[in-house]
């Protein structure tokens, strides 16, 4: 008998709710100088103006570099050439940052491509099997997969149960069970069947499978700018325009005083003033954030969701399959007084014969054992099956002899018995309560004839709460996130499981619509809601949530509705997702602060240098507080510092600013201090040091 205590090979994997070490943790996650060098050609290829125009700040630097190159041709000098080289270096370094960030995903995409190798499929047509290339499969095709077969494309199991090795996709070697009917019916193309035989209905068009999406995701192929990025880009662009105007209007002013400035100097000044540091690193920061998620085995389909995760207030979790293992198995049948166990088992069996859910199948298995193989085919021939739905919360069968049998949630069956002219035996309530208090799911079995209806007893379904949830929910609470469990189960079962798992609150007897309504209510007033679920009935809620994390064990509908998939099917993975989201926002903020503060300091290096030679501006010479060697050396040193700082900050952009659970206000103060003050001071030190070296260049006046 399938029992919650029987250890199947699936358990060790699905029970570990703590972090499974993500498979990429061994790959070089931190930045190395070698990686920079390796990406150099890619960085050069990115000089394409059609690509660069999307990054306004760096595009201005590119145009400036072209201008100074022309200047070098017309009026060559050591100063002009060296400065121009460093202006080009600024653009290339920015591209390098992006290329390095993307390069990490590319390596992983190559590994995934190996899993997508050419396979064939055993296509079923009119009961006959033909072998076709997997790429020819379209939605709706049915294929057979047996032990040893690679599943040719994504789909839903419509017949059978099998253990599947999903390591090609999840990196986890323990096999998982995939079965028809329930919330564990989805299979992924590229994974391998280890035992038994299943029939799969294909749900993905060629080229649009989960693996394809994963590859383009880790490669950043269809990365879209997030609303936050767009807003920041607009801000950077307007700053750039302001400085452009300031620099351009400087010229008439300088001409009037008899010392017009060269194009070279003006471009150098402009590049130093505009926020090139953040402009260069912005896209790398975003890519690195997604990459960090992939390393935690979470696939984020949208960058917007990652940012939203950084500000989530509430996490809603589905119970079965998310908080519990989702393996609700029939454990016992409990008849009420006056009904024999055999009578109840027979009714439960009949009501489940056509029930394709895992619950239904486990009831069949248990009852067949209790009835010792008694043949019920006479009773069931010609019967009309009533399928389970999350709305009715019942399933059953209408027999030819006029008897109708139902099983389902207590409240639902009670209404059905009432409607059919029966009385709901209070003894049932006692049994139901007892099972529920234990965290079990009671399914009440009832039968109705033309003129009467009565309850026969209760089937006890058992499920197991995943391990290690309580500590992780405590952690979420410490981060200020409220956890709410939502379930279609009755309030007592819900309360028992909620207590065991340690969630803050729960909602029971929830239909898919209730789940959706709860999310919309939580979202009122701009609060951000995350939802974790696995079932088709969770799909509307997953789609509505700001962050919708589908369990990889879940149904195709759930995975498509959400904007993230957790390959480890760990409901507390949201902790990592939130931390990564916050880290992304903080890193972007910190580097923006640093960048702007930096530019202010560079202003003091360049402006005095530019006007040092002008007699009327002798006073400005006093601004040369850094004591730089010469005006040219000052300008060149500022340009070099401006370029070098980009490369120096690449590791920070990729790794992210350290995130620790503390209040937002404290975090802000801390970052302003470190990155604002650091950004002000660094250029003074850096430019002075570079100036000492630059002054040694022969030919630089
Ligand atoms: N095969 C079935 N036949 C009859 N009734 C069922 C069956 N499976 C579940 N039920 C009843 O319907 C209720 C709702 O089940 P469902 O799986 O839709 O819950 P849910 O909304 O997904 O909640 P959760 O997954 O969080 O427990 C169950 O609590 C149970 O009482
Ligand atoms: K700058
Ligand atoms: Mg469910």
Q: Which ligand is nearest to the CA of 184?
A: 3
What angle do helix axes 574-611 and 664-671 make, rounded to 10 degrees? Answer: 30
The pair of structure tokens assigned to 126 is 């009119």
Measured in Å, residue 55 CA sits from the centre of ligand 1 at: 51
Residue 515 alpha carbon, nearest atom of ligand 1: 21
Give 454-463 pLDDT, tens digit per residue. 999 999 999 8
Cβ atoms of residues 55 and 283 within 8 Å: yes
pLDDT at 21 over 90: no
**Does 6 show up as a binding residue in the annotation?**
no
Rounded to the nearest angstrom, the distance between the alpha carbon of 549 and the centre of ligand 3 is 14
212 known member of a binding site = no
371-380 pLDDT tens trace: 987 888 888 8
For residue 443, give the 3-state DSSP assignment.
strand
User: Separation of 244 CA from ligand 2 center, angstroms?
Assistant: 12
**Res. 675: pLDDT tops 80:** yes
Q: What does the alpha-carbon distance between residue 113 and residue 311 come to, in Å, rounded to a whole number?
A: 34
Alpha helices in 116-170 (DSSP H): 167-170
Q: Which of 666, 606, 681, 641 is nearest to 267 (CA)?
A: 606
The pTM of this model reads 0.79
- CB of 212 within 6 A of ligand 1: the answer is no
Q: d(Cα 644, Cα 340) in Å, to the nearest integer? A: 83
- Tokens at 543, concatenated: 């789609």
555 Cβ inside 6 Å of ligand 1: no
Burial 301-333 (b: 16+ CB within 10 A, else e): bbbbbbbbbbbbbbbbbbbbbbbbbbbbbbbeb
* Per-residue model confidence (pLDDT) at position 225: 81
Kindly provide the residue ranges of all beta strands, DSSP E only, lying in 271-379, ordered along the sequence: 298-300, 314-318, 329-335
Q: How many A from CA of 27 to the centre of ligand 2?
A: 33
> Phi and psi dihedrals of 617, rounded to 5?
-110, 20
Q: Is 355 left (phi over 0), alpha (psi -120 to 50) or beta?
A: beta
As given in the structure block, the two tokens for residue 489 are: 């189960």
| Statement: residue 70 has pLDDT above 90 | yes
- In the chain, what is the greatest distance between 2 CA atoms, to the nearest angstrom? 113
Catalytic, out of 149, 154, 183, 318:
318
pLDDT confidence bin for 84, thresholds 50/70/90:
very high
Secondary structure (DSSP) of 168-204: HHH---S-EEEESSSTT-EE-TT-EEEESEEEEEE-S
Token pair of 658 as six digits:
């350290």
Residue 391 counted as an annotated binding residue: yes
Strand partners, 486: 318, 507
Q: Which long-range contacts (CB under 8 A, 24 or more apart) does 129-134 make?
A: 134/189
Closest Cα to atom 6 of ligand 1:
408
User: Which residues partner with 484 through β-bridges?
Assistant: 316, 505
Stretch 570-578: mean pLDDT: 86
pLDDT in tens, 600-611: 888 877 777 777
Told to judge if 318 belongs to the known catalytic residues of this protein, a careful annotator would answer yes
Ligand 1 pocket mutation, candidates 316, 363, 393, criterion most atoms within 8 A of CB:
393
Domains in the chain: ranges and CATH: 33-104+219-292+579-695 (no CATH), 316-323+466-564 (3.40.50.1000), 327-460 (3.40.1110.10)
Of the listed ligands, the closest to the CA of 492 is: 1
Backbone φ and ψ for 307, nearest 5 degrees, come out as -65, -40
| Parallel/antiparallel/unpaired status of strands 314-318 and 529-533 | parallel
Is 390 annotated to bind ligand?
Answer: yes
- Give the full edge-to-edge strand order of the sheet including 329-335: 329-335, 453-462, 441-448, 404-408, 394-398, 384-386
Indicate if ligand 1 lies below 6 Å from the C-beta of 320: yes
List pLDDT tens digits, range 192-229: 999 999 999 999 998 888 888 888 888 776 677 888 88
Minimum-distance ligand 1 atom for the alpha carbon of 512: 21
pLDDT at 18: 37
User: Ligand 2: distance of its center to the CA of 276 in Å?
Assistant: 4
Percentages helix, strand, coil for the chain, rounded to the nearest 5?
Answer: 55, 15, 30
Min mean pLDDT across 160-164, 515-519, 669-673 is at: 669-673
């Amino acid at each position: 008998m399938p029992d919650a205590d029987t250890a199947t090979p699936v358990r060790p994997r699905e029970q570990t709710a703590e972090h499974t070490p993500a498979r990429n943790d061994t790959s070089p996650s931190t930045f190395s100088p070698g990686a920079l060098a390796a990406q150099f050609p890619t960085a050069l290829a990115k000089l394409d103006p059609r690509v660069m125009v999307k990054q306004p700040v760096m595009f201005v630097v590119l145009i400036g570099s072209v201008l100074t190159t022309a200047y070098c041709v017309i009026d060559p000098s050591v100063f002009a050439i060296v400065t121009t080289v460093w202006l080009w270096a600024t653009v290339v370094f920015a591209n390098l940052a992006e290329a390095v960030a993307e390069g990490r995903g590319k390596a992983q995409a190559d590994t995934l491509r190996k899993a997508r190798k050419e396979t064939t499929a055993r296509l079923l047509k009119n009961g006959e099997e033909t072998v076709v290339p997997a790429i020819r499969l379209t939605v709706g095709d049915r294929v057979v997969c047996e032990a040893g077969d690679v599943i040719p494309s994504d789909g839903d199991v419509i017949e059978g149960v099998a253990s599947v090795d999903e390591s090609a996709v999840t990196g986890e070697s323990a096999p998982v069970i995939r079965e028809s009917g329930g919330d564990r019916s989805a299979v992924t193309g590229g994974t391998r069947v280890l035992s038994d035989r299943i029939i799969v209905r294909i749900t993905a068009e060629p080229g649009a499978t989960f693996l394809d999406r994963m590859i383009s995701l880790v490669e950043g192929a269809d990365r879209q700018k997030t609303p936050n990025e767009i807003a920041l880009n607009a801000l950077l662009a307007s700053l750039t325009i302001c400085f452009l105007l300031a620099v351009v209007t400087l010229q008439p002013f300088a001409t009037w005083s008899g010392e017009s400035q060269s194009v070279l100097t003006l471009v150098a000044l402009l590049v130093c003033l505009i926020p090139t540091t953040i402009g260069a690193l912005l896209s790398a920061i975003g890519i690195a954030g997604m990459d960090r998620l992939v390393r935690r085995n979470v696939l984020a389909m949208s960058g917007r969701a990652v940012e939203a995760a950084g500000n989530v207030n509430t996490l809603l979790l589905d119970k079965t399959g998310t908080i519990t293992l989702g393996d609700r198995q029939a454990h016992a049948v409990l008849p009420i007084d006056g009904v024999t166990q055999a009578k109840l088992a027979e009714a439960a069996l009949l009501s489940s014969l056509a029930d394709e859910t895992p619950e239904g199948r486990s009831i069949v298995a248990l009852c067949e054992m209790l009835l010792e193989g008694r043949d019920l085919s006479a009773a069931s021939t010609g019967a009309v099956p009533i399928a389970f739905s999350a709305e009715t919360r019942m399933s059953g069968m209408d027999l030819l002899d006029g008897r109708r049998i139902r099983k389902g949630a207590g409240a639902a069956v009670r209404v059905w018995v009432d409607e059919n002219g029966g009385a709901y035996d209070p003894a049932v309530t006692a049994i139901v309560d007892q099972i529920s208090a234990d965290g079990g799911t009671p399914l009440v079995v009832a039968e109705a004839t033309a003129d009467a209806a009565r309850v026969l007893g209760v089937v006890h379904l058992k499920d197991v709460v995943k391990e290690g949830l309580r500590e992780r929910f405590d952690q979420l609470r410490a981060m200020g996130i409220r956890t709410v469990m939502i379930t279609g189960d009755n309030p007592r079962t819900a309360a028992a499981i909620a207590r065991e798992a340690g969630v803050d609150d729960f909602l029971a007897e929830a239909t898919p619509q209730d789940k959706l309504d709860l999310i919309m209510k939580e979202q009122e007033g701009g609060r951000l809601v995350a939802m974790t679920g696995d079932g088709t009935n969770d799909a509307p809620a997953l789609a509505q949530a700001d962050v919708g994390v589908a369990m990889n064990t879940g149904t195709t509908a759930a995975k498509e509705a959400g904007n993230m998939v957790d390959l480890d099917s760990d409901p507390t993975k949201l902790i990592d997702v939130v931390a990564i989201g916050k880290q992304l926002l903080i890193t972007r903020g910190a580097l923006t602060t640093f960048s702007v503060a930096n530019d202010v300091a560079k202003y003091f290096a360049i402006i005095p240098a530019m006007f040092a030679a002008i007699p009327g501006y002798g006073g400005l010479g006093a601004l040369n507080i850094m004591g730089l060697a010469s005006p040219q050396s000052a300008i060149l040193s500022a340009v070099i510092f401006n370029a070098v700082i980009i490369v120096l900050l690449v590791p920070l952009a990729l790794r992210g600013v350290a995130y620790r659970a503390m209040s937002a206000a404290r975090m802000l103060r801390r970052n302003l201090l470190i990155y604002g003050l650091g950004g002000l001071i660094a250029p003074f030190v850096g430019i002075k040091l570079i100036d000492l070296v630059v002054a040694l260049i022969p030919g630089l006046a």
